[in-house]
Amino acid sequence: MTFEAEMSQLDTTIAEFGGAAEEQLSKAIEAMTARDVALARTVIQGDKALDATEMLIDRETASMFSRRQLMAADLRTVLAIIKIASTIERIGDLAKNTARRSIILSEHAPLKTVNAVARMGRETLKQFSASLDAFAQRNDRMALDVWNHDEVLDNLYNALQREIIAEMATESDAIAEHTQLLFIAKNMERIGDHATFIAEMAHYIVTGEQINEARPKGLPDGSPETFAG
């Protein structure tokens, strides 16, 4: 197989890997909102396939290093792909964690803030999908759009955190359940950070340069200003 064919196959594998992780995240969000324990358990079981795919990518890239003298641009791409694969696997882990917490939530009365967390989850899923598209299309403009959008997710998370804590104060008998929801919201914020990292890797592949400036981050009070974080 030619090097070009190997790289094309690797791109296809990453696309399928990312698509599977997107599906896991989407199902985890749906399981939470629908209080669907069976669907949540499907997500938990599905994580094994993601782990296996990451191991496959590790083997394929290691084989390329051992068999080929990679030029600078090709080496840059392969190294970025290794990091992207690891990041996708972490997103899968966070989807699994969300599914596990949704099972706990389903055992109790519904919380008012679940739908707000789900809305943030869907926004996070859009960010993740856009980062995968930026990589697949080698599109730097798309990558930078994802990078700049991370601030929006931070502000959503900060606002949600305040809302959930306020609910805790008025529903003291449901503190444990609200804590689970806080962890799920944090999972979504972390997935947003991982999506931004994939976008940074896409930028690196296209330009050969890393983004050196600080990523825009929302302030803890949810206001639109940014600070260097």
- Domain positions in the chain are 3-228
Residue 157: burial class (beta carbons within 10 Å; 0-12, 13-18, 19+): buried
Q: Are 177 and 169 in contact (CB under 8 A)?
A: no
* Averaged confidence pLDDT in the chain: 92
Please report the sign of the dihedral spanned by the C-alpha atoms of residue 86, residue 2, residue 140, residue 209.
Answer: positive
Q: What pLDDT digit, counting tens, does each position of 105-126 carry? A: 999 999 999 999 999 999 999 9
Tell which residue, 87, 77, 88, has the closest CA to residue 203: 77
Query: How many C-beta neighbours within 10 Å does residue 66 have?
Result: 7
Q: Which helix (H) or strand (E) holds 228?
A: strand 226-228
The DSSP bridge partners found for residue 218 are: 226
Whether 185 shows a pLDDT value over 70: the answer reads: yes
Give the per-residue pLDDT at 227: 30
User: Rounded distance, CA 15 to CA 198, Å?
Assistant: 13
Give the per-residue pLDDT at 70: 82
173 secondary structure, DSSP code: G
User: Rounded distance, CA 229 to CA 218, Å?
Assistant: 9
- What pairing do the DSSP bridges indicate for beta strands 216-218 and 226-228? antiparallel
Give the per-residue pLDDT at 81: 95
Instruction: Provide mean pLDDT across the span 46-56.
Output: 96
User: Rounded distance, CA 55 to CA 116, Å?
Assistant: 35
User: Rounded distance, CA 44 to CA 74, Å?
Assistant: 35
Give the per-residue pLDDT at 228: 31
User: pTM, whole model, 2 decimals?
Assistant: 0.91
CATH superfamily of 3-228: Phosphate transport system protein phou homolog 2; domain 2 (1.20.58.220)
Give the per-residue pLDDT at 3: 83
Give the per-residue pLDDT at 218: 63
Q: How far is CA 171 from CA 10, 120, 164, in A?
A: 50, 22, 10
- 3-class secondary structure, 70: coil
User: Rounded distance, CA 163 to CA 120, Å?
Assistant: 13
User: Rounded distance, CA 94 to CA 120, Å?
Assistant: 14
Confidence class for position 172, pLDDT limits 50, 70, 90: confident
- 3-class secondary structure, 226: strand
Confidence class for position 216, pLDDT limits 50, 70, 90: low
Give the per-residue pLDDT at 150: 92
Whether 226 shows a pLDDT value over 50: the answer reads: no
Q: What pLDDT digit, counting tens, does each position of 128-150 carry? A: 999 999 999 999 999 999 999 99
